[in-house]
Structure 1
Amino acid sequence: MLQILNEEGEVVNEKAMPDLSDDELKELMRRMVYTRIWDQRALSLNRQGRLGFYAPVAGQEASMLASEFAMEDEDWLLPSYRDIPQLVFHGLPLTKAFLYSRGHFMGGQIPEGVNALMPQIIIAAQCTQCAGIALGLKKRGKKNVAFTYFGDGATSQGDFYEGLNFAGAYQAPAVFISQNNRFAISVPVEKQTASKTLAQKSVAAGIRGIQVDGMDPLAVYAATKEARENAVNGEGPTLIETLTYRYGPHTTAGDDPTRYRTEELDNEWEKKDPLIRFRKFLENKGLWSKEEEEKTVEQAKDDIKAALKEADNTPKQKVTDLIKIMSETLPYNLQEQLEEYTEKESK
C-alpha cells in the first residue's frame, strides 16, 4: 500500500512525495474542508426535506479530491452517485448538484466545456463507458485521460471486468479508481471477493494496479498523477484501489450502518481522518491556520446558501419537460403523452 503521510501527518515516504507547491497544498486542503462542510449541510437539508437522494462523503475527501486534483480540465470524468464533489470541482455548478439530488432534469445537464457525464446510478456501468471514452480520446490523438470512480461493491459487477479488459486490450488512456470503503452498502469486502486486494484484479486485464492509503491525500494524488502520465504516454490504463472509509450511511435512502459496522471499527477509522492528518501536515509546514480554516468554512456556507437559493428559484419540473428532452424527434407514443400532459398542465 502506498502511503506518504501517517496518521499523525508525518511524512513516512519522502521518495514518493509529489511535486506540489505550497499554494497547491493549501488549495487541496481548502477543497477537503469545503466538502466536509458541504456534506454536513447536505445531510441536514435532506432531513429537512429540502434535498433528495444523497450519498454522504465524509471520510472519503482525500480519495475523491486528491485524485481529481491530478486531473486536467480537458480530461473526462465519469462519476458514480457519490462522486458529486469531484464533479463540482471539475466544473459543474453547485446549483446543478442540488438539482440533481432533487431529481430535476436540469441537474443532469452538464454545461458546455465541462468534460463529464452525469453521475451513474447503475453500479459499475461507468467502467465500460470510461473504456469507450478513453478509446475515443486515443483514436482522436488527444493527450487526455478518462477517469472513473466506483466503490468496492462495483468490482463484483460484470461491467467492471469488461471495462478493464477492454481498456487493457486497446491500451486506452483510462484511470479506474475503486474507492474501497469496506462495506459497499452493507456487505464486508471480505465476503464479496476472495481477492486479497481489489488492486490485484488489474492483473487479469493486463494493466497496472496499485493500492493506496485513501485517507492520505498526498499518496492518492501521487498515485493518480503517475497513472495519468502513464496513460498520456501511451502506457495504458491503471486500476487504483484507495483504502478509505465513509463515516456516514451508504445513502440517505434508509441505510443504517450500525447494523453492519461496529463502534470499534468506526473509532479506528476516525483516527485516520484525512482532514486531521492533512491539517497536521500543513500546520507543521506553517501553511494552514485556524483563520484559514474558518475562512474556508464561511465560504462553503455562503456558496451553499447561494446555490440553494438558485435551486429553489429554478422552475419546477413538469412531466412535459421530461418528455420533450427524451428524443430529438418524439416517437408517436411520446407525442401522444406530450399532448395529454400538455392539456393536463394547462388546467
Structure 2
Amino acid sequence: MNRFAALLIAATLLSTAHADAATLKPAATVTDGQILLGDLFDGLPGDQAMRPVMPAPAPGRRANLDAPTLSRIAASNGVEWRATGGGDRIVVERAAVQVGNDVIADGLRQALQEAGIGDGADVLMDNRTLTFFLPAGNDATVRVENLAYDAQRGRVTAEIIAPATGPEAVRHTVGARVVDMVELPVLARRMGQGEVVGEADITWIKLPRDRLQAGAVVEASEMIGKSLRRAIAPNQAVNARDVRDPVVVGKGQAVTILLQTEVMTLTASGKALTDGAQGELVRIVNTSSNRVIEAVVAGPNLVAVRPSGQIPTPVSHVSGASKKAAR
C-alpha cells in the first residue's frame, strides 16, 4: 500500500470516528422522572439515547452536571465523548405546572364559603409566597381537606392537595387569617386639588375592615361629582372630609352681592376671600367700603346675604320698589 492510500484510509477513519462522536447539548428540559442519555448528548442511536442515566430533579428544579459527572456518564454508557475542558457542563431543568399562591388562597376561600364560614371574607395566607410545582401534564388546581376554623382568633388551617383530581402530587398544611373585607371606591389616577371626580376616575379596592379609618368614603356616589380639597394619590382610601361639592365661587373672584326680600332687591360688588360651593357660607369683602361680611353662595359669581345681615354699600343697583324701602 502506497503512502497516499494509507493517508486516505486514515483520513476516512478519522472522519468516521468524528461523525460518530457525541456532542454535548447546551441545555435540556425533561418532563419525566429520569434523565436520559439523549437529554444530554446529540448524535446517539435511538436505543442508546433512550437509556436512563440518573433521576431527574424535582418538578420546577434544576440539576447542574459538570464535566467530571458528564465524563463518568459517557464512559459508563459507551458514549464517545470527552470533555474539552473544565467548563463543559449542562443544566437540566424539570418541566412543571406551577400552582401559585393565588390559586391556593382561592381554594381555601371557596372551602370556607362552602362550609358556611366567612361569607364575603378574604383569607391572608401566612406564607404569601407559597407555590407548588407539579409534574408536567397535571392541572393547576387544588382541593382542601381537614379544614379547621377558629372563629375567636379568625384563623383557619387546612391541608392543600394538588392537583384537585387524579393522583396526588403535593400535600401541604397551610394556615391563614380570615379577614372581613370592605370594598371601597378610590381614585384610579392621581388628582389635584379642585379637580372634579367623574365616574371614569373611580376604581375599587378591598381592605380589611379593621384597617378602615373613620370617615372613609364607602360609596362611589359620595365622590362622583365632588371636588377635591387636596391632591390625592390613586388606590388609597378617600376620607369624606377630602371631598366637597364643586367650587362655584373661588377665592379672589369678583362676585355680585345680593340682598333680596319681598319688597326690595339690592346688589353690590365684592370679592371672595374664601372658596365656596353652592350653598356654602363664604367671606366677602365689599370692594368699595372694604367691609367684610359672610354670604351664602347662590351661583357662579353670585352670593346672597340675609335681610338681617349687614348690607354692603354703596348699592350698585336698586329696583324702583326697593329705593323707597332703602330710604
Q: TM-score, normalised by structure 2?
A: 0.17
Structure possessing the higher relative contact order (Cα contacts under 8 Å, 6 or more residues apart): 1
Structure number with bigger Rg = 2
Which has more helix, going by share of residues? 1
Which has more strand, going by share of residues? 2
